[in-house]
Amino acid sequence: MSHIMVDIEADGPIPGDYSMISFGAVVVEPTLSKTFYGKLKPISDKFIPEALAVSGFSREETLQFDDPMQVMKSFADWLTENSKGRHFFISDNNGFDWSFINWYFYHFTATNPFGHSSSNLGSLYKGLVNDTFKNFKHLRNTPHTHNPVDDALGNAEALLTMKTELGLKISLK
């Protein structure tokens, strides 16, 4: 099983009505050298300017991004080429990130290579340290920039630290 850390940026709160405009993924392994970055053309005329602003892109820029179907097919191919066995989705905010990735995969490719489950990195850390008030974000090395590859890398670094320094029992192949 390969753990894939994912982060997405969107121009609104829900998939379908709003658009995922970019996402990043990294295979969680010591080198963190296998990354994917996708920028997707909006699928809806609706967007919330404040939500879009977080990404650093303008609406005009996003309209020049790549066809979502092609991006999702490329991501599925990347997963097959860069990970082993089952692909396991993990993110900082899996309720949000997974909902967009799942919707886009099913809408554009009719399947989701991640299946029907995901894990939340923050919840994993809270359980590891037995404290629901603790936050893992101090374990990141890569700054959180809202570039989804940077954010996925920082979160993957945190997961690796949980394994190597805090004793998290997890198989990262």
- Domains of the chain with bracketed CATH: 2-164 (3.30.420.10)
Q: Which residues pair with 90 in a beta bridge?
A: 5, 119
- Determine the pLDDT at residue 1: 85
Q: At what angle do helices 94-109 and 68-82 cross, to 10 degrees?
A: 110
In angstroms, the first-to-last Cα distance of the chain is 7
DSSP codes, 78-136: HHHHH--SSEEEEETTHHHHHHHHHHHHHHHHS--TTTT-EEEHHHHHHHHTT-TT--S
Going by the DSSP 8-state scheme, the letter that residue 139 receives in this structure is G
- SS3 assignment for 150-170: HHHHHHHHHHHHHHHCCCCCC
- Determine the pLDDT at residue 171: 87
Q: CA 124, CA 16: separation in Å to the nearest integer?
A: 29
Ordered per-residue pLDDT tens for the chain, 173 residues? 899 999 999 999 999 999 999 999 999 999 999 999 999 999 999 999 999 999 999 999 999 999 999 999 999 999 999 998 899 999 999 999 999 999 999 999 999 999 999 999 999 999 999 999 999 999 999 999 999 999 999 999 999 999 999 999 998 86
Is the CB of residue 172 less than 8 Å from the CB of residue 34? Answer: no
Sequence letter at residue 28: V
Q: CA 56, CA 146: separation in Å to the nearest integer?
A: 8
